[in-house]
């Protein structure tokens, strides 16, 4: 089955800890994205990557970091510098080189700060 997987489904973090959220896709998509969703809010773009070993900041990148060492993988690290990290995190991918394609989402990771 082709798709996007995110792990873990639920993640708990203590104050001051860094945590890494996993995102893997087997759709052979070039581009991958991380969004954050808060209650009553739309999705906000954290980081995106259009090609391996390259990534760009989105609208709310502060306190987050990413890497793109493989086409299939785009992990997100939530650092201790992120002051309000409790949220639902969504990873997406896209074959953006096609003008008719769009983004497809994984099932999400719910991060809670204790």
Partner 1 sequence: QKEVEQDPGPLSVPEGAIVSLNCTYSNSAFQYFMWYRQYSRKGPELLMYTYSSGNKEDGRFTAQVDKSSKYISLFIRDSQPSDSATYLCAMSDSGGGADGLTFGKGTHLIIQP
Per-residue tokens: 103? 């983004």
Candidate residues 18, 26, 28, 102; the one interacting with partner 1 per rule CB under 8 A: 102
* Interface with partner 1, residue 64, by CB under 8 A: no
In the three-class reduction of DSSP (H, G, I as helix; E, B as strand; rest coil), residue 71 is classed as: coil
Shortest Å distance, C-beta 43 to partner 1: 4
The dihedral through the CA atoms of 53, 35, 60, 66 has a sign that is negative
The number of residues that bind partner 1 (CB under 8 A) is 34
Question: What is the rounded distance in angstroms from the CA atom of residue 37 to the CA atom of residue 110?
Answer: 10
Find the binder of partner 1 among 2, 16, 83, 99 (CB under 8 A): 99
């Amino acid at each position: 089955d082709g798709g996007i997987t995110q792990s873990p489904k639920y993640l708990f973090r203590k104050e001051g800890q860094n945590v890494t959220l996993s995102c893997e896709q087997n759709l052979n998509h070039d581009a991958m994205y991380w969004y954050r969703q808060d209650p009553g809010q739309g999705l906000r773009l954290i980081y995106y990557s259009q090609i391996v070993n390259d990534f760009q900041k989105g609208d709310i990148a502060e306190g987050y970091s990413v890497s793109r060492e493989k086409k299939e993988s785009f992990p997100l690290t939530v650092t201790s510098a992120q002051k309000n990290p409790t949220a639902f995190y969504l990873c997406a991918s896209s074959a953006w080189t096609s003008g008719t394609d769009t983004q497809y989402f994984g099932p999400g990771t719910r991060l809670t700060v204790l």
